[in-house]
Amino acid sequence: MLKVGLLGAGRIAGVHAIAISSNTGSTLAAVSDYFPENAEKLAAQYGSAARSTEDIIADDSIDAVLIATSTDTHSDLIEAATQAGKAVLCEKPVDLSLDRARACQKVADKTGKPVMIGFNRRFDPNFGALKVALKAGEIGKPELLAITSFDPAPPPVEYIKVSGGLFRDMMIHDFDMSSFIMGEAPVSVMAAGSSIVDPEIGAAGDVDTAVVTMTYADGRIAVIKNSRRAVYGYDQRVELLGSEGLLQAQNMLENTVVKSTADGVTGAKPTYFFLERYMPAYSAEWNAFVEAVNSGAPMPVTLADGITALAMAEAATRSAQTGSPVRLEDV
Ligand SMILES: NC(=O)c1ccc[n+]([C@@H]2O[C@H](COP(=O)([O-])OP(=O)(O)OC[C@H]3O[C@@H](n4cnc5c(N)ncnc54)[C@H](O)[C@@H]3O)[C@@H](O)[C@H]2O)c1
């Protein structure tokens, strides 16, 4: 039985607590939060104990930690937990700073302890099925990838100010998805960003609408579209054109009812947001982590994958600011 400490008791920690306690091979041994009352509340729901982050990391009976704290704490906690001999699943992104993330990787690598980064979308059954079909050669050689990722509504500006910006906070998922599907990182990144949804986001120095075009060494192309607002719900689609066909992963809908009348044909909206859409993916992600820790197999998503996605976000941020393409090797 894997004894797990959950660091952070906020929004996403609540989701992970469900996954940890639902897996018959793991148990939620302790929960911490910067605000102890948050930890107590979450721990109580699962018959777990609220403790300090330092206590959990120092406890040799705890085998693994799941880091679900604010992004600016991730590198420090990955280092501390791996140095204390624990396996780690850490939420995305690895850090707000690419240099800090790279330094963290060196420290974690030295310990030899496994670290997985929480790119949960790799475990979404739809995107997973698309990847299986691609690998089976069903559309030949992939040539053009298009990822659409729109949130239903923007977060508060207070969140935007500490998020690291759209490319590091939001599009990071799509950067990782592009690497997952294309099997490698691009050589060049070109970005355009704008704050047309909420001018306050622009005033805070961020964008809320962005398009990124990436080119690969062999000439393949990927396009990512992000918006912080889609009034019809969480729009999460992937389309891949290959030499022998097209693969499309469509949205999950609130229900499958389609109404056809003399006025037209209507259907349900996409599920509202990430908690609704990706709940099965968060569980599958945790199950894959437990399996890899127990079997000693490589982590299905590595710290290096997290740093590659962060480098792509850094390149996109620079490109959007300068209007010029940025080569990945230059960041
Ligand atoms: N994979 C996903 O789909 C997904 C979704 C949402 C958030 N996230 C990521 O998860 C992380 C947390 O996001 P959230 O939305 O849950 O934020 P949140 O603000 O709701 O929760 C973060 C919690 O961490 C606590 N915290 C901060 N420093 C701490 C420390 N040193 N020890 C213990 N607790 C500490 C805060 O008090 C807060 O309760 C972010 O990095 C975010 O990017 C990922």
Residue ranges per structural domain of the chain? 2-113, 122-276+309-330
The 3 state secondary structure assigned to 272-304 is CCHHHHHHHHHHHHHHHHHHHHHHCCCCCCEHH
CA separation, residue 228 to residues 77, 147, 148, 185 (Å): 29, 15, 12, 25
Distance (angstroms) between ligand 1 centre and the Cα of 193 equals: 25
Query: Is-contact 142 242, C-beta < 8 A?
Result: yes
pLDDT digits (tens, 9 = 90+) for 125-155: 999 999 999 999 999 999 999 999 999 999 9
Q: Which residue CA neighbors atom 18 of ligand 1 most closely?
A: 10
Q: Write the CATH number of the domain with boundaries 122-276+309-330.
A: 3.30.360.10
Q: How far is CA 251 from the centre of its chain?
A: 17
Write down the mean pLDDT value for the chain: 97
Which pair of tokens denotes residue 176? 């990782």
Give percent of the chain above pLDDT 90.
99
Instruction: Judge contact between 67 and 53, C-beta under 8 A.
Output: no
**Tokens of residue 324, six digits:** 């010029």
Question: Mind listing the pLDDT tens digit for each residue in 22-70?
Answer: 999 999 999 999 999 999 999 999 999 999 999 999 999 999 999 999 9
Please tell me the CATH code under which domain 2-113 is placed. Answer: 3.40.50.720
For 241, half-sphere exposure in the C-beta direction (CA atoms, 13 angstrom radius) is: 7
3-state secondary structure of 150: strand
The answer to whether 234 and 276 have CB atoms below 8 angstroms apart is yes
Count of alpha carbons within 13 angstroms of residue 306, beta-carbon side: 32
Select from 34, 70, 77 the residue to mutate for testing ligand 1; criterion: most ligand atoms less than 8 Å from CB.
70
Cα–Cα distance list, 118 to 15, 184, 282 (Å) = 12, 18, 9
Classified as helix, coil or strand, 204 is coil
Q: How does pLDDT run across 209-240, given as a tens digit for each residue? A: 999 999 999 999 999 999 999 999 999 999 99
Cα of 5 vs centre of ligand 1, distance in Å, is 14
Residue 71 CA: nearest ligand 1 atom is 41
- Predicted TM-score of the model (pTM): 0.96
Q: How far is CA 277 from CA 6, 170, 307, in A?
A: 23, 15, 25
